[in-house]
Structure 1
Amino acid sequence: MSIVLGVLKTIFVGALLLLAAVFLVRMVQSMRGPDLQPWHLVVPPEPTASEIDAMDWPTWLKAEDAAFKVVQSEVVAKLPADQRIAQNRYWAESPMNSAHLRTDWNRSFTFRPEGEPAGAVVLLHGLTDGPYSLRHVAKLYEARGWAVVAIRNPGHGTVPAGLTKAGADQWQAATRLAVREATRLAPGKPLHIVGYSNGAALAMMYALDATENPKLAAPQKVVLISPMIGLTRFARFAGLAAMPSIFPAFVKAAWLGIEPEYNPFKYNSFPVRAGAESHRMTVILGEKIEAARASGRMGRLPPILTFQSVVDSTVSAPAVVEGLYSHLPANGSELVLFDINRAAYVGPMVRHSAQTAIDRLRPAGPHRYTLTLVMNAAPGDPQTVARSYAPDATTPQDYPLGIAYRRDFYSLGHVALPFPLSDGLYGADPSPDDRQGVALGALAARGENGVLGIPPSALARVSSNPFMPWMLGRMDPAAPPAQTPEQAAAQ
């Protein structure tokens, strides 16, 4: 007994020392970091989860408008003189201020076909993003005659401080509201849900809830892009990083990143609470998957189509395979994995772990879903194929894509997947007809240190996807679904 008590005491003391070390490090970091600006301090009003559940779409839009009015009056109108610069999206005269752009994609929006809709789709954006991130998917569904509902999740699209208060409960309520509006616009018609990153977690959470709650409209298809099924290990402890912020002198410790806000449709600054809520989302989703598996409700899920880069520094790619797809029924689901570029200029510099990532992600045994690997046709060949394994198949079929992997892209990644090369903000070859104030994806960070008003490292991450046209073809509501094992065996 004394030995056990001694071990427990050692563990307890060690934990206290670790917490003290974290506390001290965060105190020092917060004292050295940049000063907080109005967009880090002003929190626009957002409805609670219970209030959102009681809302209809027009009421939601009024609440959203009230949040943006606070941003205008308390941030934009009161901006300090030294922050009235072109690189600041919150300066009224900045080219990145969304008021100057053709469409303010920070706000919730709907598309309605002229005639009777063929169906309705709900679009759910990612953390720190806004509805902009799925606008290309919205245009696809609009072109097919579907009603589109893209909701701005609470805390997003306004100022980063919004994410110091908003959380998972509100985002789940917003998802339910968007589905209510979608089914109102297209009663009795098919319902699809498309989610990106954090929005993909929300899409899966809703789909699982609908298998249990008959009052929730069940989707007929769910599409996930870079889904947040699991996060990096650090996210589990993100909340600890904010501990010193309880003291006014260390309020900046409530932020994991305090950055210039130059992106018109995404926050660069990142509060600790946002990381903690992200981790909470993955825990809730994991519990819902386990509960559905234990009760047999996984069989009620619709087909899931997922697009995931094998290298992703934001979410866990293995969690997509192990935490979700290994539990799916044989219902025509498909997992698409984008390999690294094995014809890139920097090929010899790629880490071994990245070179072997696709092999580690492939399931070792039979799988109940279609697995598609988008990869170079051969090592050193920029042309690509979709290597597709039917459910339970061990021999793949290769389909040439007619798309070359850009040699200056050594991989895709978390941010890139929903944006084509022509995207005006994130595209490597932005269309002149799609101006978004700044073409971040086309900026090449080559020059002298200290010249740019933003960190050069912010421009190094790939932000557009040469395979996006093919992705849209796979998402097309008119496209045939992936095969079930029975269909594959019948061929």
Structure 2
Amino acid sequence: MKSRLLGLSAIAAKRTWRLAIRLTTMLLLLCLAIIVGFTLYAVNELPPLQPWHTEHLHEEFSATKHGTIDFEEYLRREDKLFDDLRHKTAEWDTKNDAYIHSRFNPASPFHRLANGAPFNRSFTLSHPKPVGHALLIHGLTDSPYSMKALAEALHARAFEVTVLRLPGHGTLPSMMTEMRLRDWTAAVRIAARHVASRTPASQLFYIGGYSSGGTLALQYTLDSLGDEPLRKPDRVLLVSPAIKLTKVAALANILDLLGVVPIPALDKVHWQAIVAEYDPYKFNSFPVNATRQINRATKALQRALADASDSGLIARMPPVITWQSVVDSTVGADGATDILYPHLDGPQHRLVLFDVNRHQGLSSVQRPESKALIDALSQGARGYTLDVVANVNPESRQVSINRLNPEGETSSIETALNWPDHIVSVGHVALPFPPGDPVYGFMPGSGRDGIPSIGSWLLRGEDGAIAISLGALNRLRSNPFWPLIDADVGEIVASDLEKQKH
């Protein structure tokens, strides 16, 4: 009997082993098919690479090489980096059509629209008598410019504000193929240490970020809960934070594996998208590495949130306010609603959701998912305050703020703002910019020196007629309800200053 059992056990072990081999083989074949398929797509379908995709700068910050420097040295390295950029671009073929119409040509309208693009670099808005200090962090592929309006809102309330340029950004798209999460994390800590050192204990210290900058701001805050050397912020300000990506993002770990083969044609494998670089403050081309690094950042953040909840440290979390559009095709709203805010308890934490335009004239073309999200949050139990910016009623374009506190009490706050004609929603790339922004504003007349803003372009035609996707031009690039965020900032600062007195 014993020998028979041993025989059956051996047979079962062999079958299990064979099954494991088959599953592993199938998985490897699937990965190989994905890699080969993406490689064929990149090589055959993506446009030609330009110098800004292939050439690299040598003065960029690296956590491995420069992790112990202070912020002053970080800025000195940034000076050298932009000197390197000027020398590099001066060597390019000025007759190349792609260059002529790019952000890198000083004579191009895009360069002039941004007045030389000074906000691709870290900057500080100083104040002679600050009541507080803030560190703001921009998002993936863009630049410190995306935090400029929020920085100015805080500065108008007597804050000194530092906006950090993350490694890999503001110079050449090629530099995004080198950047690593550890570089971003190290840069944030260096900048936060600098800002905190300038902030007396009696003054407020805020940290905030947009998109992946929000990821990094949250990660720093969670790290500070249990790490005494890190100063804990008094408040966290988030705009469209990247907290959750689709599962497909994990494929970025393997997509560009064939890029290591030293064949020039395979250089395009490092890119998910190669697009004309006309935007003075945001890269349009998108490397595989960008997805890889932000996927790592969001996974690390999710683990940190879970760990803080399990350990009880989450109770020390400073007040978090998030401005988020219900429809967000970049990172989705569910990262904030399903992952971040369920961990936060107390009315001091507030989620502001900008609903879609629910005017009755648009009801026939609206998708049901956004309303389902609002209904679920409004009717379910919450430990935080929820604000919903929405139409007063289906017959009106005017919006109000519907506030629901954790106890279930509701109130309505009137505004003087209306949905502009032909705008159906705000979204990820629109939230941080005022409607009259000279680069991204949608308002008629937005722009600079007779050059219309990118957000105000009205082009219609067939896809393929121009080098830019016409669909991309239909995406709203600035926020008609920015005054609500600006007013929010004023109320937050006033409230926090009042609490400091007691």
Instruction: Say if 2:312 is the partner of 1:296.
Output: yes
Aligned to 1:421: 435
Counterpart CA distance in 2 for 1:80 and 1:29 is 30
Instruction: Say if 2:388 is the partner of 1:366.
Output: no
TM-score by length of 1: 0.92
Q: In structure 2, which of residues 249, 252, 255 is the aligned counterpart of residue 235 of structure 1?
A: 249
Counterpart CA distance in 2 for 1:43 and 1:359 is 49
Aligned to 2:69: 55
Counterpart CA distance in 1 for 2:450 and 2:164 is 20
Aligned to 1:24: 36
Deviation for aligned residue 1:380? 3.7
Aligned to 1:439: 453
Instruction: Say if 2:172 is the partner of 1:159.
Output: yes
Confirm or deny: 8 A CA contact 1:76 1:91 kept in the other structure: no
Q: 1:99 to 1:420 in 2, by over 3 A?
A: closer
Counterpart CA distance in 2 for 1:314 and 1:10 is 37
| Aligned pairs for 1:75-114 within 5 A | 75-79=89-93, 81-83=95-97, 85-97=99-111, 101=115, 104-114=118-128
* Corresponding letter in the other structure for 1:29: Y
Aligned to 1:488: none
**How many residues are aligned here?**
479
Q: Secondary structure at the match of 1:256?
A: strand
Confirm or deny: 8 A CA contact 2:113 2:448 kept in the other structure: no
CA RMSD of aligned residues (A): 2.3
315-324 or 415-424, larger mean C-alpha shift: 315-324
| Cα deviations by residue, 1:351-400 (Å, 9 ceiling, x for unpaired) | 2334433234x16532221011111111242111111101231x421112
Aligned to 2:291: 275
* Corresponding letter in the other structure for 1:134: M
Aligned to 1:137: 150
Counterpart CA distance in 2 for 1:38 and 1:436 is 30
Counterpart CA distance in 1 for 2:450 and 2:151 is 17
Counterpart CA distance in 2 for 1:52 and 1:193 is 23
Aligned to 2:200: 187
* Corresponding letter in the other structure for 1:223: L
Confirm or deny: 8 A CA contact 1:232 1:314 kept in the other structure: no
Counterpart CA distance in 1 for 2:309 and 2:80 is 42
366-375 or 322-331, larger mean C-alpha shift: 322-331
* Corresponding letter in the other structure for 1:323: I
* Corresponding letter in the other structure for 1:36: L
Q: Secondary structure at the match of 2:400?
A: strand
Q: 1:119 to 1:136 in 2, by over 3 A?
A: same
Which one has the largest radius of gyration?
Answer: 2
Aligned to 1:489: none
* Corresponding letter in the other structure for 1:275: T
* Corresponding letter in the other structure for 2:71: W
Confirm or deny: 8 A CA contact 2:111 2:117 kept in the other structure: no
* Corresponding letter in the other structure for 1:299: A
Confirm or deny: 8 A CA contact 1:388 1:396 kept in the other structure: yes
* Corresponding letter in the other structure for 1:350: Q
Q: 5+ unaligned residues in a row in structure 1: which ranges?
A: 485-491
Confirm or deny: 8 A CA contact 1:298 1:328 kept in the other structure: yes
Deviation for aligned residue 1:479? 3.9
32-41 or 75-84, larger mean C-alpha shift: 75-84
| Cα deviations by residue, 1:51-80 (Å, 9 ceiling, x for unpaired) | 554222321111112211222222343236
Counterpart CA distance in 1 for 2:481 and 2:367 is 23
Counterpart CA distance in 2 for 1:102 and 1:38 is 20
Counterpart CA distance in 1 for 2:312 and 2:367 is 41
Q: 5+ unaligned residues in a row in structure 2: which ranges?
A: 1-11
Counterpart CA distance in 1 for 2:84 and 2:425 is 40
372-381 or 5-14, larger mean C-alpha shift: 5-14
* Corresponding letter in the other structure for 1:254: H
| Cα deviations by residue, 1:311-362 (Å, 9 ceiling, x for unpaired) | 11111311212211101132611011111111275542222334433234x1
Counterpart CA distance in 2 for 1:356 and 1:345 is 19
Counterpart CA distance in 1 for 2:17 and 2:450 is 62
351-360 or 316-325, larger mean C-alpha shift: 351-360
Q: Secondary structure at the match of 2:87?
A: helix
Confirm or deny: 8 A CA contact 1:423 1:434 kept in the other structure: no
Confirm or deny: 8 A CA contact 1:83 1:91 kept in the other structure: no
Deviation for aligned residue 1:215? 0.6
Deviation for aligned residue 1:112? 0.9
Q: How high is the sequence identity, in percent, across the aligned residues?
A: 33
Q: 1:140 to 1:434 in 2, by over 3 A?
A: farther
Q: In structure 1, which of residues 259, 269, 272 is the aligned counterpart of residue 275 of structure 2?
A: 259
5-14 or 153-162, larger mean C-alpha shift: 5-14
154-163 or 171-180, larger mean C-alpha shift: 171-180
Q: Secondary structure at the match of 1:480?
A: helix
Confirm or deny: 8 A CA contact 1:91 1:97 kept in the other structure: yes
Counterpart CA distance in 2 for 1:61 and 1:408 is 43
Instruction: Say if 2:379 is the partner of 1:379.
Output: no
Aligned to 1:332: 348
Counterpart CA distance in 2 for 1:154 and 1:132 is 15
Confirm or deny: 8 A CA contact 2:429 2:476 kept in the other structure: yes
Counterpart CA distance in 2 for 1:450 and 1:252 is 20
Deviation for aligned residue 1:302? 0.4
* Corresponding letter in the other structure for 1:57: F
Counterpart CA distance in 1 for 2:182 and 2:99 is 36
Counterpart CA distance in 1 for 2:431 and 2:345 is 26
| Cα deviations by residue, 1:262-304 (Å, 9 ceiling, x for unpaired) | 0000000011001000000001111111111111100111000
Aligned to 2:24: 12
Deviation for aligned residue 1:41? 1.2
| Cα deviations by residue, 1:143-171 (Å, 9 ceiling, x for unpaired) | 12211101100000001111111121111
Q: Secondary structure at the match of 2:495?
A: coil
Confirm or deny: 8 A CA contact 1:374 1:385 kept in the other structure: yes
Deviation for aligned residue 1:22? 0.9
Counterpart CA distance in 2 for 1:425 and 1:147 is 24
Deviation for aligned residue 1:239? 2.3
Q: 1:338 to 1:351 in 2, by over 3 A?
A: same
